[in-house]
Structure 1
Amino acid sequence: MGEFQHSIDSKGRLIIPAKFRDQLGSKFVITRGLDGCLFGYPMDEWRVLEEKLKKLPLNKRDARSFVRFFYSAATESELDKQGRINVPKTLRSHAGLEKKCVIVGVSNRFEIWSEERWNSFTDEAEENFDEIAENMIDFEF
């Protein structure tokens, strides 16, 4: 959990917060996320997710499309000695990553956002937070 600001350089290298590094292990996966961000998963969490995705019905177009889109840009990553990852161009384009980025810890993953998209998301979520919470009343915790 947490929110951290870092810049991505012209080669696509981005510092991953020290707080996340130990939990990620030596290798992890980053891929396209929802809402215009990237998702990053430690390998054990990625394997759990893969098992769930395998159970999606292949006869459903939406399931096939989602799995293709999600997996096609997935890449195994590792940290360099400075605690950076190299974000491939496909993923940078998907998330609109150009300079300023926000890395957010969310449950079993981390997310990478462009600062602009993150600010838009948080502005909207903050404005509608009470309504969002009310709509989740039937969600079992």
Structure 2
Amino acid sequence: MFMGEFQHNIDTKGRMIVPAKFRTGLGDEFVITRGLDKCLFIYPMDEWKELELKLKKLPLTKKDARAFTRFFFSGAMECEVDKQGRINIPQPLRNYASLDKECVVIGVSNRVEVWSEEIWEDYFTDSEESFGEIAENLMDFDI
């Protein structure tokens, strides 16, 4: 399980240090892709394969299913951590998530997310204001 929030920088070559706490859980190879809310999702290979199986079951005849699958898989890249604990985030993914220098890396249960610091702060502030309402809406899910 991934949890926590870490501040990191991306260098001019697009490399970012993966928090040491997350490296073991991610394993030797993992997948990075476009996430929701303008961040990147990083999945350990076993989680990615499970998600892939679920997405394969979506009906090809549904426009939303095709759009989501295209969005999700077209941005996906296999990654591995180098000897310095860094990953190289491809330019198209950096562009999508507006990653220039400062970023925030968070653990979200079965995945890691990478956010531009500015977008994360805006998202967090907006969500924080409505956290009580969000929690109330999730009560239907037995949380």
TM tier relative to shorter chain: over 0.9
**Which of 34, 50, 61 is 2:63 aligned to?**
61
Structure 1 unmatched ranges of 5 or more? none
TM-score scaled by length of structure 1: 0.98
Distance 2:142 2:47 in 1: 22
> Number of residues paired by the alignment?
141
Q: Deviations over 1:65-94 (max 9, x none)?
A: 100010001000000001000000010011
Residue 73 of structure 2 aligns to a residue in which SS?
A: helix
Structure 2 unmatched ranges of 5 or more? none
Identity %: 66
Q: Give the RMSD, CA atoms, in angstroms.
A: 0.6
Distance 2:110 2:116 in 1: 20
Q: 1:137, CA displacement in angstroms?
A: 1.5
State the partner residue of 1:77: 79
State the partner residue of 2:29: 27
Q: Deviations over 1:6-65 (max 9, x none)?
A: 000111000000000011111000000000000000000000000100011110001001
Which one-letter code corresponds to 1:94 in the other structure? Y
Distance 1:65 1:131 in 2: 30
Q: 1:130, CA displacement in angstroms?
A: 0.5
